[in-house]
Amino acid sequence: MNTPVVKDAYSMIQQALSSIVPPCVAEQKEDYHYEVWAVKEGRHLVASVTKHNHSVTLEFSKEIPAYAMPKIFSEYILLKMNDNRRMDLHLVSNELHSDIRDAIQALVRYYEEKGWY
């Protein structure tokens, strides 16, 4: 059973990710996992969100080099993100939601530079 807060967090992140589909491609596994891939040149994960009973996991691509991370992600996201580029969230504040949307747009710009988007 997912709490309403978890459902809301998952829904907000999924909507933010779906804003770049198309041209990216989305894959959904039932109602608990959503991922977005850039497929122009190969197959490159943009991000995924997974719903758990008491949290959601937001994962960003591991293809982003360390030097590019501060250009793409806010300080808050960088603090919350672990070495596997994952964040376990129990609540998504308005500020974090805005940071996630901004990160997705920054990823699009980065992927465009790489020719992946």
User: How do the pLDDT tens digits run along the chain, 117 residues long?
Assistant: 678 888 999 999 999 999 999 889 999 998 899 999 998 888 899 999 999 999 999 999 999 999 999 999 999 999 999 999 999 998 889 999 999 999 999 999 999 998 887
Phi, psi of 5 (to 5 degrees): -65, -40
Sign of the dihedral through C-alpha 87, 91, 96, 98: positive
Residue 1 pLDDT: 63
> What are the structural domain ranges in the chain?
4-114
Is the distance from CB of 48 to CB of 35 less than 8 angstroms? yes
Residue 117 pLDDT: 74
Residue 79 pLDDT: 95
Residue 36 pLDDT: 96
Sign of the dihedral through C-alpha 99, 13, 28, 18: negative
